[in-house]
A and B are shown apart, each in its own frame.
Chain A
Amino acid sequence: MLTNKKSLWLSGPYLVWIAGFIILPLLTIFYYAFTNLQGGFTFENIVGAVTDTANIKAFGLTLLLAAAATLIALILAYPLAICLAKLGLKKQKVFIFLFILPMWMNFMLQMVAINVILEDNGIINYLLSALGFEKIHIANTFGAILIGMVYDYFPFMLLPIYNTVSRIDGDLINASKDLGAGAIRTFFKITFPLSFPGVISGITMVFVPAISDFAIAEMLGGGKIMLVGNIVEMSFTKGHYYQGSGLALILMAFVVISSLVSGGDAEAEGGAILP
């Protein structure tokens, strides 16, 4: 048997990875965020990040988008999870596979495909005009980003909810009915409370990555809609490391706070992401 000290070496390669690609960049961000152009200590980058009107607007838009995407994904996923859990085991596996499949496709490919669907001359508008309706302009709008986000994050909402719902013992539902509760009361008193850890887990898995997103906004927003992630990205590509780092730190604070608030114990309660 390996002793504790010896087995520690096994994690060596990963520790090197962490140090190089997570700890070091984080320290760099912290350094830049609290440093001015002259190399002195300052709060200016942080204060600037939360007082600049463009930034405040971007924060508002980002939170709104993330919240809307989370809500829509929840509304779509919850009833679906209930249906899936009621299917036979074999069918469940097939459907779960179908819903996870897009996750294995390259992200860029997914976004390009969504754009093809939403474009002014895309599939939706082709169908609309073929049916005699007026074309709609949806590409490069808030709506397009929202659709992209819901599409991309949907499995992360579905799986934790499905996991908790499918693990509810059928006899608990039977017991509730046995004690006089009808279908609706059984849902609100038994099914929903027992699936709650999965709901919390799903919300976290969608909301947290959504607030730091910039790629979906860039690819589906046509560069016109600026989320916080896009401003951070722009700052870095333009060489504004100090402001960019300040803004990144604020965004990180949002991510950490929202994952602490919601996700704290969800996984322990059985809402883990994969079956």
Chain B
Amino acid sequence: MKNEKLIELVGVTKSFGTEQVLKNLDLYILDNEFITLLGPSGCGKTTTLRIIGGFVTPDTGKLIFDGKDITNLPPNKRQLNTVFQKYALFPHMNVFDNIAFGLRIKNTPESEIKKSVGEMLSMVGLSGYENRSVVSLSGGQQQRIAIARALVNKPRVLLLDEPLGALDFKMRQDMQYELKNIHKQAGITFIYVTHDQEEALTLSDTIAVMNQGIIQQIGTPEDIYNEPKNAFVADFIGDSNIIDGIMVKDCLVNIFGVNFPCVDTGFGNDKPVDVVIRPEDVILTSPEKSDMKGTVTSLIFKGVHYEMEVMARGYEWLVHSTKMEPVGSEVGIYVEPENIQIMHKPRSEDEEAASVDE
């Protein structure tokens, strides 16, 4: 990843009918970066991608590509290619003709086309599939052809619109590794849209979490996971306990009447805050060791860990642990101070955690 801005969206808004999908969006994308736009459906991530691709024109704002304003440039004149959600392979052409489409438009000599298509097919592991009909291929194979069809044009940016959404779980995991490899090999910018937080964490250099037409937080996967900026991000990225708390003073937060030492400062005294605690950070102890006492109400074996719910002081705590406590047992709850995230309560509706529809 170079530290040069390749694409910049400046003050972009877009409405469909009465619904405002993007609200004054600012975003820059670096050269060679793998950036993911992550959010629930309707958050504006796909519209953002389509604006970059040229299929949607913004109502206001500018799109800068490599220093030039390309807001009104038609898609066929842009130096980027798209992998569409349902692949959009041309059903009346075979694999070879699909991949060769872009090169033929540019009047590339047929011998060169043959070479490039062959290289692309071997990169996506489908050598020998030239004459197959695209409708006879499996979802994963169609996916690879769609990537090959885009990359053969040597674009500077590849746009991917939920490309793994239609694949089954195992195939999705395999394709994640493959996409990462392809990104490394191609050495170009990937802009990736998904609602799957795990996919985003696995693949990206940078994640932009979007909700209701606004970027809620942008940063590296570690930043987003460990230091979520608001309750929405915390809730959307992984499971969380999001609890109403009161900041008693610096480094001390009161949760349902129990004081927990924490590391956050600057929230003032006796201020209501959101407290975010990841389920893997909740430590279950014997009841006499903590003032936060509760009863285990459910226990599920998840493979890597047990998932338990503990009812304590009227709140159902979600707990991930490799140590299991049977349902009905009395436990105490302890959290390390640095694992407690304190957040301001949302001031406006836009920052409010919207229900995550999946």
Residues of A within 8 A of B (CB): 169, 171-172, 174-182, 185, 189-190, 193-194
Contacts and interface: CB of A to CB of B under 8 A. Distances in A.
B81 A178 contact: yes
Contact of A178 (B75, B86, B89): B75
Contact of B101 (A171, A176, A193): A176
A182 B86 CA distance: 22
Nearest to A179: B102
A119 B47 CA distance: 57
A179 B86 CA distance: 16
Contacts of B105: 179-181, 185
Is the contact region of chain A dominated by helix, strand, or loop, or is it mixed?
helix
B92 A178 contact: no
B211 to A, nearest CB: 25
A175 B153 contact: no
Given A179-B81, A180-B153, A193-B92, A174 B55 contact: yes
A179 B153 contact: yes
B53 A178 contact: yes
B48 to A, nearest CB: 16
A175 B88 contact: yes
Contacts of B149: 179
Interface of B: 53-55, 74-76, 81-82, 84-86, 88-92, 101-102, 105-106, 149-150, 153
Given A185-B105, A193-B92, A194-B91, A177 B81 contact: no
Contacts, number: 58
A175 B92 contact: no
Among B91, B106, B153, chain A packs the most CB atoms within 10 A around the CB of B91
B88 A169 contact: yes
Contacts of B91: 194
27 contacts: A169-B88, A171-B85, A171-B88, A174-B53, A174-B82, A175-B84, A175-B88, A176-B90, A176-B101, A177-B54, A177-B55, A177-B74, A178-B53, A178-B55, A178-B75, A178-B76, A178-B82, A179-B81, A179-B101, A179-B102, A179-B150, A179-B153, A180-B76, A180-B153, A181-B76, A185-B105, A189-B101
B84 A174 contact: yes
Nearest to B105: A180
B152 to A, nearest CB: 9
A188 to B, nearest CB: 12
A169 to B, nearest CB: 6
A174 B90 CA distance: 11
A190 B90 contact: yes
B92 A177 contact: no
A108 to B, nearest CB: 43
A230 to B, nearest CB: 42
A178 B86 CA distance: 15
A182 B76 CA distance: 6
A174 B92 contact: no
Nearest to B55: A174
B250 to A, nearest CB: 53
B147 to A, nearest CB: 13
Contacts of A172: 88, 90
A181 B86 CA distance: 20
Contact of A177 (B76, B86, B89, B106): B76
B106 A180 contact: yes
Contacts of B89: 175
Contacts of B75: 174, 177-178
A175 B90 contact: yes
B57 to A, nearest CB: 13
* The 8 residue pairs across chains A and B that have the minimum distance between CB atoms: A179-B102, A171-B88, A175-B88, A180-B105, A177-B75, A171-B84, A177-B76, A178-B82
A185 B91 CA distance: 17
A189 B104 CA distance: 11
Contacts of A179: 76, 81, 101-102, 105, 149-150, 153
A180 B84 CA distance: 15
A194 B92 contact: yes
Contacts of A180: 76, 102, 105-106, 153
Interface centre among B54, B85, B102 (most CB of A within 10 A): B102
Nearest to B91: A194
A162 B222 CA distance: 51
Contact of B82 (A175, A182, A185, A194): A175
A174 B76 contact: no
Contact of B86 (A169, A176, A189): A169
Contacts of A178: 53-55, 75-76, 81-82, 150
A91 to B, nearest CB: 15
Contacts of B74: 177, 182
